Structure formats: structure tokens, C-alpha cells
Amino acid sequence: MSWAGRPATEIAEAVRQGEVSAVTVVREHLDVIAKRDQAVNAFRVVREQALDEARALQDRRDLPDLPLAGVPVAVKDNLEVAGEAPRNGSRATSKVPVAHDHPAVERLRAAGAVIVGLTNVPELCLVGTGDSHFGTVRNPWNLTRTAGGSSSGGAAAVAAGMVPLALGNDGMGSLRIPAAACGVLAIKPGAGLVPPPTHPWRGLSENGPIATTAADLALTLSVLAADPGLTDAHRYGTRTEPAPRMLRSVWADEDEDYAFRAPQDLNRTSPEPFDLRVAVSPQPLPPGLPVDAEFQAAARAAADALRVAGHTALDRSRRLPVWLGPATVAAWLACAAEDADELDRTRLEPRTRALARAGRLLRSLNLDGARGRARWSDYAADKWFDTVDVLVTPTLATVPPRADRWGRRGLLRNVLVNVRYAPATGAWNMCGWPALTVPFATHSTGLPIGVQLVAPPGGEPHLLGMAAQLEASRPWPRHAPGYSA
């Protein structure tokens, strides 16, 4: 049986115990990528040198202690991987390979992960559709639909069983949107937990993992955050301090020493109970932004499942403030302008040029969303959240659009398609709060429906614990139909 398609926790345990070599694991994943990616187009670069890196990993003396030993990981093509050129979905960016890894990539490698490729994104990661000069990423659940964006290729690669984990980032939903579209999990950490992207979008964007299980998500986040207390957060809904002496190169500062605890009880599926106040908001959007009835029903069903798991679930009819939507769009366009300003505009796609022009205009009028963002993050988000611990909403408002070349179209078409199908994620970038998406239902079209969980700062353990409870209450297919191992 192939190791491709298995969870990261299972792969790492087998490599640590000597049941399989990292070379075999990586080779099998590269073979699967070669067979499946012609249809999906998840990868811009597939790194054949990953086999040499897997051989070197096998020789590491600390192999039995590595939390991600031999686990193949795909990295979003706007993050630095030594020896590769991060193209950010654009022919206007440099082709010169970088010399050093991004700090998040460094942490993955230190933990034993093997980087097998760079995944496709829309140009400059500006939109929720996965098309660019390098091709169109297609949704493994339905190849005529987009995989979402902007961590498009990462979500598609995980959903198609080409890798167990992907590293992406989220500036207005760019992890949660594609993960929901492709039926996998992703978490946008709160501000300051994980080293941010090189272009952090004024602090709106955070790096985070994509996975097929809550256990894999928690383990990878713990590595990215250099916080071993998150490793078992999916089981307990809280941080759990490890016993002393941990692998220094993975999680510890130079003057600290912890003990690595490899995930235990891999067959255990039921997380420990814990009790929080949960508010469900099937329609959190202001008037004029509808949410598909089946997506609303999925959010209600998730809240019911959490109620059965022991939480106090409350209905929340209050909608997000009307002023927050325009502020969020303005902030998005302002970031587009800043990213485009650094490049040769003549080499950018029509969509990118149009978004950047709009951003420059708003910036010149002092309407870049900064005041609305400050208002929301300083006090309005906390006031709107009230006394609840976690909010449950649909991740998307409707099924993802077709996998077209949206980059060749103008401002209005692209703004409308993004705002109509993915308007529920950006609010939580505007305040820097953690948010997670978990698959929980299937739409009548056959596409997956994701449910978004949001918590105040520091709430990542709650989100991971609840994701595991939802996973246990209604197990979902870990991969899109036809892509199982």
C-alpha cells in the first residue's frame, strides 16, 4: 500500500520507527504528483531534489525525535524556498532563486519535513480564484470549478492526495477559501503566532497549514509556531505543556530545552470533552450579501454537533457591521496597489492592473480601509463577539466559481465574483483573530461545504479542539472522490 494519501502523523511515526524510509515516502508522493497534477495543476515547481533531501534526512541523528519526519510538504509560491524563485503567480517577478528559506519553511525542515514543490497561486495572491500566467488550478472535486485562492495549489494538492500537508498564507481568507472549496482543513493563526509572509499585507496576512485531519493541522501549527503546547490541542482544546527536554532545533530557543512528545494513540478518534460558549451565525453578512441555504444549514448542523459534544451553543442573528465590508474591500485593494507598485506594470495581468489602479485611487483619497480596520480591531470586533468563545459561520457564501482565466478580465467582474462567493473571511484578518475552516457537508452540486470557526486572540487551541470534535461527529472523506490512496 502506498504511503501517499496517509496522514502526516502516520507517516512521521512510521519514519521515526524505521518502518519506512523518508526516501520511499517522498518517491511515492512524487510519483502521485506526476500522475495527478496534469489535470489539477496544483504545482508550479516539483522539486526532484526532494529525494536527495530525504536521503540526507535519513542520516540525521535526531530522526527518531522529529515531529514531521519524512513528511512531504508543498509550499505556496510566494514563500522563499532556498534554491527556488518564488514567482507569486506572476511573470513580472524575479526568476532568480533565493539563497535562504523563509523562517516558516526553516521550521518545517528542522522538524523533518521534505519540501516537494511550490504550489500555484493567482497573480500576487490577490484573489480567491486560482488562475495565473502559470495556468489554472482546478478543484479536485470538480475540475470545472476553481480550487479557490489564493493558496490554490496547496489546497488542491492536499485534497487530491498529492501531499498530506501544505504551507500557505491568508490575507483575506487565502487559506480558508481554497480549503473550504476543496474539502480540507486550514487555519489562519492569530497575529504574531507564526512568522508572517515576506509581504504581510500591512499585517493582514498570516502563514498557516492546510491538512486533511485536525491532528495533522495541530501538529503542523505547533511546528510553525515553535510551540509544542499546541501539538495535542486538537485533543483537549487547550495548550498542554510538554515534559522537559525537547528537540532544540525544532521548537526551543537557544536557552531552552524541551522534550518532544511524538503523537501517541494514532487510532484514537475521540477528543476529550471541554465546554465553551459557541455562537452560530448561519448568515453573518450585511444585507445584500446572501448565503446559500445549504451552507447555512451546514453551519447550524455544526453547532448542533458541538452542542452534543458538550458546548453551550447559541443562535446569533446579529450581522457584521455594514461599514466593515467597504473597509475590508478598500484594504484589499490598497494591498494590491502596494504589491503592484514594486513590479513592471506592463507585465502584469489585466485583473492585477485594474485592482491596483482602484487601490491607488482609494489610497489617494485616504480611503484605504485603515480607519475601519482600526475601529474593528480596537473594540468593535470584541463588542460584536460579546461573551462567546467561538463563532461558527459558513466559510463561503456559495459554491466556488468556474475555473476560468479570471486574470484576463477587469475590475468589476473580479470584485463581484470574489465578494459574492467568499465574503465571510476577511473580517477576521481585519482584526487579526484566528480562524479555521473544517469540511462538514456536501452541497447538492457535489462540492464540499466548509464551516468557519473563529475565536478571539489566543483561541487557536479551542478551534483545533472543536475541529477534532466535528471530525469525530461526522467523519468526512479525507480526499476528493477518485483521489484516495
Query: Which of 90, 132, 151, 174 is an active site residue?
Result: 174
Query: Which of 150, 205, 222, 281 is an active site residue?
Result: 150
Half-sphere exposure of 463 (CA within 13 A, CB side): 28
Q: Check the CA dihedral 334-339-344-349 and report its sign.
A: negative
Q: 425 near 448, Cβ under 8 Å?
A: no
Give the DSSP per-residue string, 377-391.
Answer: IIIIHHHHHTT-SEE
Strands 435-442 and 185-188, bridge-based pairing: antiparallel
Q: 145 near 417, Cβ under 8 Å?
A: no
Nearest to 460, CA basis, from 214, 172, 200, 267:
214
Query: Which of 76, 90, 205, 222 is an active site residue?
Result: 76
Q: Check the CA dihedral 159-163-164-165 and report its sign.
A: negative
Residue 352 CA to residue 246 CA, distance in Å, equals 46
Please confirm, yes or no, whether 150 is among the known catalytic residues. Answer: yes
Q: Is 260 exposed, middle or buried (0-12, 13-18, 19+ CB in 10 A)?
A: buried
Angstrom CA distances, 375 to 289, 320, 323, 367, 434, stand at 22, 13, 10, 14, 18
Nearest to 134, CA basis, from 41, 20, 262:
41
Residue 479 CA to residue 183 CA, distance in Å, equals 8
Please confirm, yes or no, whether 174 is among the known catalytic residues. Answer: yes
- Number of C-beta neighbours around residue 166 at 10 A: 32
Give 3-state DSSP helix, strand, coil % of the chain, rounded to 5.
Answer: 40, 15, 45
Nearest to 76, CA basis, from 142, 149, 184:
149
Strand partners, 136: 131
Strand partners, 188: 435
Residue 304 CA to residue 333 CA, distance in Å, equals 37
Catalogue the active-site residues: 76, 150, 174
